[in-house]
Amino acid sequence: MRNAFCLGKGVPPGNMGNAILSVKKKTRLTENLRSKVTVIKSLYIVIGHEVKNQNKLLAEMDSQFDSVTGFQGKTMGKLEILPKGNQTKLLCYRMLFSLFVFFVLLDY
């Protein structure tokens, strides 16, 4: 079809120059579109790599948060056991610690 168009079939004799310009314009527009598609394709690939990296980081963060949650749960379990024990011993430790802090701050 393109060759027939370039040979002048179906084109009035005076418009042969316009037909060639039209083909050149279409070729230029096609090349322009092809370059734009190539740019968009490369951006798509870069975005895909970035999404994979972000998903990997999110998965690592999720596993770290899960481990911290487990550690925090174990610590809270141990702290719940603490008040159930001997209260006088705990009170004595608190008083000794308070006195220690008081004397350390008094020296400064």
For residue 71, the number of C-alpha atoms closer than 13 Å in the C-beta half-sphere is: 6
**CA distance linking residue 77 with residue 20, whole number of Å:** 84
Pull the structure tokens for residue 15: 């418009």
In the predicted structure, residue 4 carries a pLDDT above the cut 80: no
pLDDT tens digit sequence for 38-93: 999 999 999 999 999 999 999 999 988 888 888 888 878 877 776 676 677 778 88
Helix or strand holding residue 73 (H, E): helix 16-81
Q: What is the pTM of this model?
A: 0.47
